[in-house]
Amino acid sequence: MNCLLSVLLVFSVLACHKDPGASSAAVTKTTVTFATDRYVNGSLKPFALAAGDKVTLMHPASGEVSTATPITPGTAASSFLFNLTKPAKGDVVVGYWPFGEKVTAAGSAITFSFPSQQNGTDRKSFYLGSMRCSGASEHFMTLRPMSSLVLAQVQKGAYTVKTAVLTAPGIAGTMTYDPATGSMKGSADAITVTLASPLDCSSEAQVVPVLVPPMTLPEGFTITFTLSDGNTSKFSTTERVTFEPGGTYSTDPASSGRQLLACGSGKVYLIDEKIASAAGTYESALLWTWTASAHSSEVGQTLRADDHIDDCKPVDGNKNILLTSSHGWAALVDLATGKVLWSATGITNAHSAEVLPGGLIAVAVSTGVDAVKLYSRKTSNVEIGSYPLNSAHGVVWSDKTQRLYAIGGTTLQIYQLLNADTSAPSLKLERTVATGGYVSGLHDMTAVDENTLVLAGNKAALLNLTTLQFTQLTHFNGFAGIKSLNYNPSTGEAYYTYGWEGHSEGSYDWSTHTIRYTNDVFANDGGVDKKTIKVSDINMYKARVFRW
């Protein structure tokens, strides 16, 4: 049975004052119950019928209506005296409140209006229910609200929100509801919420309330937020969603702000870049924190406050983060909950990891192990294979080439993934590329686009995956010990970290307290920072761009 039908179509019993074989029967005394609280001045309040409240019954087949006031006001249920003369036994009768609502019959269905323009504060209450005439001596009807509340969350960031537009097929306008089948569809595909004053998100996350009809959206919905600076931000889900009558649905937070991940010691921070850049430090821009010591039992070994987390790579469409620690572990963490979904231990000097097809994870493990290790993400600590690579520091999978790229020292190794969907997957070394003419002391590698990688360590360069040709990034010519480099080819911008003897911050030669930025990686500018963000309470190793 359709979900909406099971919720809204309450098959109740009607008293029909004619012989059972008669073709029509009058509908008189009916007990009407309001099923949930109602919105009053923007808040949910217990429903209590006032003496003058009017409930209307309609016989859709004939269009006949009858309106009555409660016999026992002051509660959420009361008897009413109606006078419908045309329903036949078995006919559907529809009830609704309030009296002034424009409800019309359209054949066997009914129509009503649902607002496609809202202001974020109105909570219009419209209740609807139905029953069938059965000829019994008593009858009852339950009315349920024809609205549900979507709490559209906007993440903390350096922006304000002006409007929110929820789009889904038939979500508003003139709603056609068939009580016999439970189907409902509107004439409009969007609901626009225009706020009286913009929501300031600079100090905390905000919520834009969107009133929607109680219906099922098989392919989900999208909310587009328009910001005061003209930019937009979106939340979208393609999963089946059911809005329950009188219920609430909270979205995941949406953000248009540029966001950075910083990791070091035993922590991972998600930072709003705009707020952090304006302040020069991360504290007021912190969006999310993961602390290793709180997840020791999930990882399977003791994790400390200074656990040398050396990478924090967003994967799986930014839903998860792959962490590695040179103190001997790797973990896949769910961003929404912070829970560890997969882990591997006993791998001293793990430096970076990557997800591969077939439910696999590759981990680059440096000095002492010097290998790329292959794991199944389906089960923690299941090592499938180990492939030698001196000072392994980075791994990146390319969907376009269907190859795994791994770096160590002055070497780039290219692997073919074999038998990924079997019980015996493996890596086959296909080619080794020398990088020393452009980059040595390799510490980091990230994907720029489907055809380009950026490699960093002592200096930095781009690698074309088709030609295997390098292009020097001259901004970094004077740098050694670049630990992370994130490059945006459409803007020329980059965020990076470095640390080497004489040029380090924190407790170690390799650590830093600074995320650095340039707007031109090809500038011959001696490596001058255009701006910096301080992260002074961890021995930071890498920073990753979570969202450009």
- Report residue 484: phi and psi, to 5°: -155, 145
Q: State the CB neighbour count (10 A cutoff) for residue 358.
A: 14
Residue ranges of domains in the chain, CATH in brackets = 3-145 (2.60.40), 259-547 (2.130.10.10)
Amino acid at 347: I
CA distance 187 to 115: 11
- The residue to which tokens 């609430």 are assigned: 248
pLDDT, tens digit, for every residue of 118-136? Answer: 999 876 678 999 998 876 7
Bond prior to 98 in cis (omega within 30° of 0):
yes
Mean residue pLDDT of the chain comes to: 91
Half-sphere exposure of 104 (CA within 13 A, CB side): 5
Q: State the CB neighbour count (10 A cutoff) for residue 324.
A: 29
Mean pLDDT of 330-341: 96
448 CB-contact burial (10 Å; exposed 0-12 / middle 13-18 / buried 19+): middle
Strand bridging mode 140-145 / 27-34: parallel
- Report residue 523: phi and psi, to 5°: -70, 140
pLDDT, tens digit, for every residue of 140-193? Answer: 999 998 999 999 999 898 899 999 999 999 999 999 998 878 889 999 999 999
**pLDDT exceeds cutoff 50 at 223:** yes
Half-sphere exposure of 226 (CA within 13 A, CB side): 11
User: Band of the pLDDT at 40, cuts 50, 70, 90?
Assistant: low
pLDDT above 70: percentage of residues in the chain: 93
pLDDT, tens digit, for every residue of 509-527? Answer: 999 999 999 999 999 999 9
CA distance 495 to 488: 9
DSSP-derived 3-state class of residue 476: helix
pLDDT, tens digit, for every residue of 77-86? Answer: 999 999 998 8
What secondary structure letter does DSSP report for 292? G
Maximum pairwise Cα distance, the chain: 100
Q: What is the pTM of this model?
A: 0.77
